[in-house]
Amino acid sequence: MLSFFKIDYYSQYGLCILMFLSIPFLFLYGFMAGLFMLGCWQLLSAALTTSCFLKAGQSRIIFTYWKWTSLILALLLLCIPLSILFDPDDLQVIGVIAVIGSIPVAFYYLLIYKRLIDHLSIKKEIGGIIKSNH
């Protein structure tokens, strides 16, 4: 399971690097496409690893991630019903706020995911040491 987490983490990290490297060539289009893919990927990853965060005693940090993610998704979903009432140019303000807010949330998830992997690695090492002493 730990090796799956490491593959997932480093793949997400690689996508972040590609997002930033694409800026000089594709301008913000490559960055935004990468951010969309990373956001979807992180939602799936967080949904699958939330129980591991809870078992590791890191409930506060994963709930913080879910709170900010919920706020961003609510802002994006709010644009749909408001499109009837407002001009699309006005709704871009809400969309831009949500997109800009999703960047630090994506990096926050990478940080807490790395923290979880480190915690599980140390726990595995300690478990191996304890087993070898018996």
Map out the domains of the chain as residue ranges.
2-133
Q: Which residues of 89-104 are buried (b: 16+ CB within 10 A; e: fewer)?
A: eebeeeeeebbeebee
Q: Under 8 Å CB-to-CB from 57, ≥6 apart: which residues?
A: none
Q: Under 8 Å CB-to-CB from 88, ≥6 apart: which residues?
A: none
The whole-number pLDDT of residue 134 equals 64
Return the SS3 of 27: coil
The whole-number pLDDT of residue 129 equals 79
**pLDDT means per 10 residues in the chain (134 residues)?**
95 96 92 95 97 96 98 93 88 92 97 97 86 71
The whole-number pLDDT of residue 57 equals 95
42, amino acid identity? Q
| pTM confidence score | 0.92
The whole-number pLDDT of residue 32 equals 94
For residue 114, give both structure tokens: 């790395």
